Structure 1
């Protein structure tokens, strides 16, 4: 099997630079396009990427890329790829698809043609086999066509990387773990600073902060579909997990607090924290944002408050934004980061942001408002 693969880490729009930084921190040079970060690596790179990338959605292998303007062209160029290097004879290989601004716009037809081409290729390589039972390991194939360029990929993650495995329950509109991690990584927080999430909901942002603070790989306690692939090998995953265990800083003390107005969410957050293996490392308590105060200095607040998009919610949310601004006004050494889709947040909060960044929370276009606190004086 070839040792180097074309790897794609897919990502939500606006998070590409964060994922690229994570990929480089793992030791791989990369390039960035809308919604994806591309790099080369071996089997170890695939395992490590799945275990460590906090803000990526999935890790895929690019099997091939080509132009196609007809179904015949799609069939022949798909068939020409080395599918037998990836798929065992008993592989289960469903094909999903999407097509944007391309002559081949019928996605079901494209899926069927790619499937047929792969079967044809496999039959030519395994002449003794006339029918594939597809009762073995799962290889999820995607045909993606953008402006007549076809990209064929294998999904190595299985369930999306945001599924860390620690959510025992959640609220009505939970933030994805991958976005929560990105929100923390976009701040100036480190494990030596106090951290507060005043709208903690099911605890996702504080939990992601704790995982970052103790350098715990976010995928450490879950499984990936490519673990069942023979050519990946058990040793690859074993070594990747041993590395993650060695690099974790379980003894790192943390000062992380999450609060929410709903006592039920506080209970859920506590349960999720324990499920994540963090025990009582994070303090969760019931509290309104207007009541938040602290004598600690040089901390970080990250909040994902209600946006006021539901009918009848807007007035209450706007009042809460004003109260938030008043409560935080005395925290001049704290850096405050709030994500919301509300267009008048700065006016309601009572202060223009130092910086703001466009992000997407699911399909909702939001801004990440950043208020930088005073810098801590250097010790002589």
Structure 2
């Protein structure tokens, strides 16, 4: 089939990770702020939705054109091949955004775009004046204007990709699955290494590590709205799902530990791991992170600790960071990775990070503090883990 342009949307700061995932799947792409443009075909939509761990959504680009007036917007939309993309009964909605554009009224842009699509569908199906039933497959359409350029897209994912299908309930301050996967990919962890998630909460970091360690496609246990689209061949979905099942290492042993001080969270994390089909890969422990005593000499410690944004006082936060800093320092063979918005984390922790990186946990600006541990000795030499 003909090449199409797709967009994988991403949280600010992790676009490069999304691009690496896209390239690892065999596609070419270009990075922009908050998005990755992908050269692909309609048959590739299933694979991208199933396998992208750090992207928010996969969108099909229908067109991009300049629009400084509502007439230009209408004319640009009405000429697009909507009949080739949607059946007569398509259940479509139009969302909108506008940034630095003459057409700044989002509501009016949505109305114009929807009217143009209705006109195009009536012409394409030779049903002038007839109401579109909108009872069929779901098509989330967006008209996004940036500097007077309109980009018309259809969201192929439906629910955002962080909704893997395993986290029915969550803790008070949940970490999105996509951000958890990004945090893991920014570590030096390999599946043969111990992995300690020391503030496991609902278990997201530990579960994402298990999915990565066993090469399980993150979207395997959920559905996508484009599964019902006639323009995406059913065979492409069957092939992508079969590929994901065939390449998964379902029984691979892993040394993953999820630790939390709250026994309710430990139970919740266990339940979520069961839903994700990785319960046997993770050992969950009711314990204090500051009491951690790893069994192995080398490995990774990772955490999304309380920030003090909503749940704890500053004094409690400082005390916690001091205690984990003192405890983790006893294990120089471990690389430590902590995500927090608390600005004085390094001071409380007791030492400056080897490296830090700005990430957004939802709408909260955070820093990802990275402390590189020692590598296992090789030929009587001892070196530090190289930063990413």
Give TM class, smaller chain. over 0.9
What is the match of residue 226 of structure 2? 226
Please say which of residues 183-192 and 290-299 is displaced more in the overlay: 290-299
CA contact (8 A) 2:43 2:233 kept: no
1:134: Cα distance to partner?
Answer: 1.1
Q: Deviations over 1:205-250 (max 9, x none)?
A: 0000000000000000111000000121221100000111111111
Checking the alignment, whether the CA contact within 8 Å between 1:44 and 1:240 is kept in structure 2 is: no
1:319 and 2:319 are equivalent in the alignment? yes
Secondary structure at 1:251's aligned position in 2?
A: coil
CA RMSD of superposed structures (Å): 1.2
Distance in 2, matches of 1:169 and 1:202, equals 8
Distance 2:347 2:120 in 1: 61
Cα pair distance change 1:189/1:83, threshold 3 Å: same
CA distance in 1, matches of 2:84, 2:223: 23
Q: How do 1:183-332 residues align onto structure 2 when only pairs under 5 Å count?
A: 183-310=183-310, 313-332=313-332
8 Å Cα contact 2:18-2:36 kept in structure 1: yes
Asked if 1:335 is matched to 2:331, the reply is no
Aligned mates of 1:206, 1:221 — CA distance in 2 = 17
How far apart, CA to CA, are the structure 2 residues paired with 1:204 and 1:347? 27
Q: Secondary structure at the match of 1:112?
A: helix
What CA distance in whole angstroms lies between the structure 2 residues aligned with 1:322 and 1:100? Answer: 44
C-alpha displacement at 1:19, in angstroms?
0.3
CA distance in 1, matches of 2:251, 2:277: 13
**1:312 to 1:274, Cα distance in 2 relative to 1, 3 A:** closer
Cα distance in structure 1, aligned partners of 2:121 and 2:309: 51
| Structure 1 unpaired stretches of 5+ | none
TM-fit CA distance, 1:257 = 0.3
Could you tell me which residue of structure 2 aligns to residue 71 of structure 1? 70
- Report what 1:160 is aligned to: 160
Q: Please tell me whether the aligned partners of residues 8 and 60 of structure 1 are also in contact (alpha carbons under 8 angstroms).
A: yes
Partner Cα separation in structure 1 for residue 127 and residue 170 of structure 2: 51
The whole-number CA distance in structure 2 between the counterparts of 1:58 and 1:282 is 28
- Mean CA deviation greater in 82-91 or 203-212: 82-91
Question: Any idea what SS the aligned residue of 2:279 has?
Answer: coil
The 2-side partners of 1:242 and 1:355 are apart by: 40
**Aligned-partner Cα distance in 1 for 2:254–2:368:** 24
Range with greater deviation from structure 2 (308-317 or 89-98) = 308-317
Q: Which residue of 2 aligns with 1:144?
A: 144
Measured after TM superposition, the shift of residue 168 of structure 1 is 3.1
Unaligned stretches of 5+ in structure 2?
381-388
Would you say the 8 A contact 2:9–2:55 is kept in 1? yes
The offset of 1:295, in angstroms, is: 3.5
Whether 1:376 aligns to 2:383 is no
Runs of 4+ in 1 over 4 A off after TM superposition: none
> Residue 65 of structure 1 contacts residue 150 of structure 1 at CA under 8 Å; is this kept in 2?
yes
User: How far does the alpha carbon of each residue in 1:49-96 deviate from its partner, in whole angstroms, 9 at most, with x for none?
Assistant: 000000000000000011111111111111121111101111111100
CA distance in 1, matches of 2:301, 2:343: 21
Q: 1:168–1:268: 8 Å Cα contact kept in structure 2? A: no
Pairwise mapping of residues 71-150 of structure 1 onto structure 2 (< 5 A)?
Answer: 71-129=70-128, 130-150=130-150
- 2:16 is the counterpart of 1:12: no
Instruction: Indicate conservation of the 8 Å contact 2:206/2:282, yes or no.
Output: yes
> Which moved further from structure 2: 57-66 or 123-132?
123-132
Q: What SS does the aligned partner of 1:222 have?
A: coil
TM-score, scaled to structure 2: 0.95
What secondary structure is seen at the aligned counterpart in 2 of 1:330?
coil
